[in-house]
């Protein structure tokens, strides 16, 4: 019996995380308590910051001193992470951040589940740089996508989000530990960084300057337009050029189907149930689960659109990912959103209803 | 005297300083360089963390490691660096502006007693943004944002660090000859150290308020804010305390998920969705766990969600359990197959769900909770006669036993085994006693 908080914490620990700082917020607090209890057992450090700003500040500082860092929060905390996320992008500090989504802005319907921060993660800070967002649908994926997030963070020296939600983090499921640890068949992420590796501060090590301002290779502030432009291009391209490597989806395409359902996170589970039901009634339907929400796995989505004239997109928000699909699909394709923002999960029946039109 | 390693820690190729003529910032940087020199530190064991503002320009003038972060947050990065690598000497350079916007971090780092050294470049206003008032601006002062005189009480930065437990706290001025010694003392202190260094912003504060060195000393006197060491305590630093925590924790077993091997069997053919609705204190969630665990022990798939108010010791408590022969995909419950009502709070909370139930569904209700507005079949929870006196205290466990008998989803032994495997021995004993009434 495992819940998502346990799976994510185990994934982080097994990925070699040795530093965690965070601030309590339902539904992410389970991750905080696991990490603070477990890290000192293995010689790591876990602490509760005085707020989210200091928590992420501690993480960024520790990362420049060589720590493998992790933190978790929910929408309100993500708001407070914003400026520091910009800093970590500028400094190219690897960070893994789990966002356990709950419903509504401000404190909203605090302990109800939602998927309302999908665009917020993407545009989490000033400047509009690309970040990586992974979204698990179940316990096993929560564990393995967390591990993968650490590899990606290190490789791209960038913040990597795990987009999860109250339902996944706080629901206990009858998954055996051995099933959770079972490695899915996903392509490997190479170990070596795409640019220069991060040089941690070290006694007798090479001197390093880290700065949040546009800087030269030595880490000195610069206002030279050419250096600034080159630096900003590189930041954009280091992730933008590697979309294919980051892209991770599960395709379940059926010959002859003209309807494709696209979903992610907890809503993808209802999609799977709906697809099963539809097919057992002789209906033809294809399904695509997106694990790497950002950068958008365009090629993988486009290659699933052959023969499709209708796309159904269930998500627990007002259509945040649908906008992106709209951009990709040709205009003859019908786009149908199945959306809920009333604390209830989208049911398989609602998706089936959308299928029948 | 320690043998010096370097003559200066200032990156001379980056000089002259960008500061305005007469600005005290350069003086303090010189004192810091001298302090590092007299301590004989290798430049690679020092990290200078700068805040934002004119003071924030300082990182590039040092040959040590450096970190230039966000406005007000320098202390948080410094703490993180020190926590990860205690070998490093971590020094924060921050203005009075940074101490305002990041005041929360300052007082909490003092409380935590994290082993860093904070040098406050306190020039009574924001330099970089054009001389606006800061938290330390003296009363009646003219600044860009207090053109008729400041009316706010100035904050005592050193005093704040002191009352919040900072290990080493001192006040000084940029003109003090012994500043390098004071910095050395602060750095050598095992714990949080802060030196509130008063100084001059010649571009703004000095001009607008006719406030030179002499006036600054006079202001110090008039405020009874003496210079010198204000506090030196033996309180263990965060680094020392946390080592103790790591030592204790290393003796504990690492976390592992609860492993429930299949021991029983079930011939359930389709998912059953059960809602237990009661009140805080009735151990509803724990009864839900028992049912889910018993099903898991019988080779079934389950999900268990809990719903309760934020203030968990009052109001409703609801457990939703899905039990299925196949992995549970959709874990929500819009229409329960079975509902058990054991407290009025729970009954009210799930009224919306019970209403959706159909004739083929069943609602079991405790005494006085019948008459549900629902087409579902409604039956009283009929506990064994011998268990009557347990109902008041242990209704959830009794309900778990009753539902197991009635619904026949998995063997009753699985429920007893679940009690043994997931509950603490003392509680398990009580609950096994309760379940014995059903034998
Ligand atoms: C979040 C944020 N708000 C505002 C600013 C603009 N800002 C830059 S420096 C500064 C004030 C600096 O004053 P102080 O800390 O006293 O340093 P000084 O310039 O006097 O050395 C402000 C408000 C900023 N950089 N970040
Ligand atoms: S504006 Fe003030 S603080 Fe900034 S450099 Fe000039 S004198 Fe110094």
In this structure, what CATH number is given to the domain that contains residue A55? 3.40.50.970
CB contact under 8 A, B69 and A45: no
Residue B72 Cα to chain centre, angstroms: 19
CB contact under 8 A, A207 and B64: yes
Of A181, A208, A227, which residue sits at a domain end?
A181
Together in a domain, B298 and B235: no
What gap in Å lies between CA A318 and CA A139, rounded to an integer? 26
Closest CA to B52 of B34, B76, B36, B74: B74
pLDDT at B261: 87
CB contact under 8 A, B45 and A66: no
Nearest to A348 among B63, B304, B330 (CB): B330
Residue carrying structure tokens 């679940």: B418
What gap in Å lies between CA B113 and CA B111, rounded to an integer? 5
pLDDT at B1: 66
Question: In this structure, what token pair is assigned to residue A317?
Answer: 């928000």
Q: Residue A174 carries which DSSP code?
A: -
Question: In this structure, what token pair is assigned to residue B64?
Answer: 């040590």
Closest CA to B58 of B78, B80, B37, B33: B33
Task: Mutate one of B68, B108, B319 to test the A interface: name it (highest A CB count within 10 A).
Answer: B68
Domain membership flag for residue B205: yes
Together in a domain, A145 and A13: yes
Chains A and B: how many Cβ contacts under 8 Å? 222
Together in a domain, A168 and A254: no
Instruction: Compute the distance from residue B47 Cα to the ligand 1 centre, in Å.
Output: 21
Together in a domain, A262 and A144: no
pLDDT at B150: 98
Question: CA-nearest residue of chain B to A347?
Answer: B330
Domain membership flag for residue B49: yes
Which sign does the torsion angle of CA A246, A249, A253, A257 carry? negative
Q: Which residue has the least CA distance to atom 8 on ligand 2?
A: B23
Domain membership flag for residue A228: no
Instruction: Compute the distance from residue B202 Cα to the ligand 2 centre, in Å.
Output: 6
CA distance B148 to chain A (A): 34
Residues 231 through 260 of chain A touching chain B, CB cutoff 8 Å: none
Q: Is B293 on the interface with A (CB under 8 A)?
A: yes
Closest CA to B10 of B2, B19, B31, B18: B31
In this structure, what CATH number is given to the domain that contains residue A281? 3.40.50.920
Q: Is A338 helix (H, G, I), strand (E, B) or coil?
A: strand
Question: In this structure, what token pair is assigned to residue A178?
Answer: 């051995």
Give every CB contact of residue B384 below 8 A, 6+ residues apart in sequence.
B437, B438
Do β-strands A310-315 and A292-294 pair in parallel, antiparallel, or remain unpaired? Answer: unpaired
Contact A292, A321 (CB under 8 A): no
Q: Is A199 helix (H, G, I), strand (E, B) or coil?
A: coil
Together in a domain, B160 and B277: no
Question: In this structure, what token pair is assigned to residue A334?
Answer: 């019908």
Domain membership flag for residue A209: no
Domain membership flag for residue A266: yes
Domain membership flag for residue B7: no
Q: In ligand 2, which atom is closest to the CA atom of B203? A: 7
Contact A212, B69 (CB under 8 A): yes
Domain membership flag for residue A227: no
Residue carrying structure tokens 């080779």: B299
Q: Is B15 on the interface with A (CB under 8 A)?
A: no
- Positions in chain A whose pLDDT score sits under 70: none
What gap in Å lies between CA A354 and CA A314, rounded to an integer? 10
Q: How many residues does chain A have?
A: 357
pLDDT, tens only, B74-125: 999 999 999 999 999 999 999 999 999 999 999 999 999 999 999 999 999 9
In this structure, what CATH number is given to the domain that contains residue B137? 3.40.50.970
Domain membership flag for residue B220: yes
- Positions in chain B whose pLDDT score sits under 70: 1
Distances (CA, A) of B5 to A69, A204, A314, B177: 34, 13, 65, 22
Of A181, A197, A225, which residue sits at a domain end?
A181
Domain membership flag for residue A25: yes
* B241 phi, psi to nearest 5 deg: -60, -40
Domains contained in chain A, number: 2
What gap in Å lies between CA B49 and CA B59, rounded to an integer? 7
Give every CB contact of residue A93 below 8 A, 6+ residues apart in sequence.
A60, A63, A64, A87, A157, A198, A210
Q: Could you tell me if the CB of B114 is within 6 A of ligand 2?
A: no
pLDDT at A107: 84
Query: Which residues on adjacent β-strands are paired with residue B121?
Result: B95, B197
Of A181, A196, A221, which residue sits at a domain end?
A181
Do β-strands A292-294 and A132-134 pair in parallel, antiparallel, or remain unpaired? Answer: antiparallel
Domain membership flag for residue B347: yes
Q: Could you tell me if the CB of B39 is within 6 A of ligand 1?
A: no
Domain membership flag for residue B342: yes
Q: Which residue has the least CA distance to atom 8 on ligand 1?
A: B53
Together in a domain, B50 and B182: yes
Domain membership flag for residue A226: no
Domain membership flag for residue B413: yes
CB contact under 8 A, A45 and B63: no
Q: SS3 sequence, chain B?
A: CCCCCCCCCECHHHCCCCCCCCCCHHHHHHHHHHHHHHHCCCHHHEEEEECCCHHHHHHHHECCEEEECCCCCHHHHHHHHHHHCCCCEEEEEEEHHHHHHCHHHHHHHHHHCCCCEEEEEECCECCCCCCCECCCCCCCCCECCECCCCCCCCCCHHHHHHHCCCCEEEEEECCCCCHHHHHHHHHHCCCCEEEEEECCCCCCHHHHHCCCHHHHHHHHHHCCCCCEEEEECCCCCHHHHHHHHHHHHCCCCCCCCCCCCCCCCCCCCCCEEEEEEEECCCCHHHHHHHHHHHHHHCCCEEEEEEECCCCCCCCEEEEEEEEECCCCCCCCCCCCCEEEECCHHHHHHCHHHHHHCCCCCEEEECCCCCCCCCCCEEEECCCCHHHHHHHHHHHHHHHHHHHHHHHCCCCHHHHHHHHHHHCCHHHHHHHHHHHHCCC
Residues 1 through 40 of chain A touching chain B, CB cutoff 8 Å: 1-2, 6, 9-10, 13, 19, 21, 26, 34, 37-38, 40
- The range of the structural domain enclosing residue B369 comes to 272-436
Q: Could you tell me if the CB of B203 is within 6 A of ligand 2?
A: yes
Give A-chain residues touching B293 at CB under 8 angstroms. 1
CB contact under 8 A, B70 and A212: yes
Together in a domain, A19 and A157: yes
Contact B254, A42 (CB under 8 A): yes
- The range of the structural domain enclosing residue A271 comes to 250-356
pLDDT, tens only, A112-146: 899 999 999 999 999 999 999 999 999 999 999 99
Domains contained in chain B, number: 2
Together in a domain, B58 and B167: yes
Terminal alpha carbon distance of chain A: 38
Together in a domain, A146 and A260: no
pLDDT, tens only, A237-295: 999 999 999 999 999 999 999 999 999 999 999 999 999 999 999 999 999 999 999 99
Q: Is A45 helix (H, G, I), strand (E, B) or coil?
A: strand
Contact A66, A200 (CB under 8 A): yes
Together in a domain, A257 and A149: no
pTM as predicted: 0.96
What gap in Å lies between CA B329 and CA B332, rounded to an integer? 9
What gap in Å lies between CA A130 and CA A152, rounded to an integer? 13
Instruction: Compute the distance from residue B97 Cα to the ligand 1 centre, in Å.
Output: 6
Question: In this structure, what token pair is assigned to residue A169?
Answer: 């983090």
Together in a domain, B290 and B395: yes
Do β-strands A109-113 and A95-103 pair in parallel, antiparallel, or remain unpaired? Answer: antiparallel
Together in a domain, A38 and A175: yes
pLDDT at B245: 97
Beta strands in A81-212 (DSSP E): 95-103, 109-113, 132-134, 159-165, 172-173, 209-211
Domain membership flag for residue B107: yes
Closest CA to B295 of B274, B318, B266, B258: B266
């Amino acid at each position: 019996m495992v819940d998502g908080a346990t799976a994510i914490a185990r994934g982080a620990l097994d990925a070699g995380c040795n530093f965690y700082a965070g601030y309590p917020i339902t539904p992410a607090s389970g991750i905080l308590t696991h990490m603070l209890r477990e890290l000192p057992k293995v010689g790591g450090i876990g602490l509760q910051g005085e707020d989210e700003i200091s928590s992420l500040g501690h993480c960024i500082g520790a990362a420049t001193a060589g720590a493998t860092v992790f933190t978790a929060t929910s929408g309100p905390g993500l708001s407070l992470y914003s400026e520091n996320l910009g800093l970590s992008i500028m400094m190219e500090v690897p960070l893994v951040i789990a966002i356990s989504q709950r419903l509504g802005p401000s404190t909203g319907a605090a302990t109800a589940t939602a998927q309302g921060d999908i665009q917020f993660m993407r545009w989490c800070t000033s400047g509009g740089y690309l970040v990586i967002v992974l979204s698990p649908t179940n316990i096993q994926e929560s564990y393995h996508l967390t591990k993968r997030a650490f590899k990606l963070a290190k490789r791209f020296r960038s913040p990597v989000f795990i987009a999860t939600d109250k339902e996944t983090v706080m629901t206990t499921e009858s998954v055996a530990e051995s099933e959770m640890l079972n490695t899915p068949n996903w392509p490997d992420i190479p170990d070596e960084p795409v640019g220069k590796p991060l040089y941690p501060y070290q006694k007798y090590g090479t001197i390093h300057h880290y700065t949040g301002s546009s800087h030269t290779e030595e880490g000195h502030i610069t206002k030279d337009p050419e250096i600034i432009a080159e630096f900003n291009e590189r930041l954009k391209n280091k992730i933008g050029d590697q979309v294919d490597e980051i892209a991770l989806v599960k395709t379940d395409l059926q010959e002859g189907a003209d309807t494709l359902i696209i979903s992610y996170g907890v809503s993808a589970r209802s999609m799977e149930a709906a697809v099963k039901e539809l097919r057992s009634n002789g209906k033809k339907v294809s399904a695509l689960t997106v694990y790497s929400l950002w950068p958008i796995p365009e090629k993988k989505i486009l290659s699933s659109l052959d023969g499709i004239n209708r796309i159904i997109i269930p998500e627990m928000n007002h259509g945040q990912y649908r906008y992106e699909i709209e951009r990709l699909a040709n205009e003859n394709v019908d786009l149908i959103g199945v959306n809920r923002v009333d604390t209830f999960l989208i049911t398989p029946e609602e998706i089936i209803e959308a299928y029948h039109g | 005297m320690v043998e010096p390693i370097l003559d200066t820690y200032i990156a001379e190729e980056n000089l002259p300083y960008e500061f305005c003529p007469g600005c005290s910032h350069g003086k303090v940087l010189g004192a810091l360089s001298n302090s590092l020199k007299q301590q004989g530190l290798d430049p690679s064991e020092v990290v200078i963390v700068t805040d934002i503002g004119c003071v924030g320009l300082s990182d590039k003038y040092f040959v040590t490691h450096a970190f230039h972060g966000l406005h007000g947050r320098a202390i948080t990065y410094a703490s993180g660096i020190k926590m990860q690598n205690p070998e490093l000497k971590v020094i924060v350079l921050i203005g009075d502006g940074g101490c305002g916007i990041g005041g929360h971090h300052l007082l909490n780092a003092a409380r935590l007693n994290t082993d860093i050294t904070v040098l406050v470049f306190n020039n009574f206003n924001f330099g970089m943004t054009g001389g606006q008032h800061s938290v330390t601006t003296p009363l009646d002062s003219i600044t860009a944002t207090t053109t008729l005189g400041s009316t706010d009480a100035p904050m005592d930065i050193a005093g704040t660090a002191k009352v919040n437990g900072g290990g080493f706290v001192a006040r000084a001025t940029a003109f003090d000859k012994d500043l390098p010694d004071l910095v050395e003392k602060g750095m050598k202190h095992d714990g949080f150290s802060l030196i509130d260094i008063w100084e001059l912003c010649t571009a703004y504060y000095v001009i607008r308020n006719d406030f030179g060195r002499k006036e600054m000393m006079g202001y110090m006197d008039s405020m009874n804010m003496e210079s010198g060491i204000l506090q030196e305590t033996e309180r263990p630093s965060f680094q020392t305390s946390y080592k103790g925590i790591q030592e204790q924790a290393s003796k504990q077993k690492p976390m592992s998920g609860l492993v429930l091997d299949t021991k029983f069997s079930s011939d359930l053919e389709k998912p059953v969705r059960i809602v237990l609705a009661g009140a805080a204190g009735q151990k509803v969630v724990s009864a839900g766990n028992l049912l889910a665990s018993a099903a898991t022990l019988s080779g079934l798939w389950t999900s268990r969600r809990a719903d309760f108010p934020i203030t968990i010791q009052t109001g409703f408590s609801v457990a939703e359990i899905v039990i299925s022969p196949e992995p549970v995909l959709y874990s929500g419950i819009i229409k329960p197959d079975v509902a058990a009502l054991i407290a009025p709070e729970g009954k009210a909370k799930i009224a919306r769900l019970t209403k959706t139930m159909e004739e083929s569904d069943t609602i079991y209700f405790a005494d006085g909770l019948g008459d549900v507005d629902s087409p579902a079949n409604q039956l009283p929870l009929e506990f064994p006669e011998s268990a009557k006196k347990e109902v008041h205290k242990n209704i959830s466990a009794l309900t778990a036993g009753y539902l197991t008998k009635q619904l026949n989803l998995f063997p009753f032994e699985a429920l007893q085994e679940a009690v043994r495997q997931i509950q603490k021995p003392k509680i398990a004993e009580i609950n096994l006693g309760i379940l014995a009434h059903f034998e």
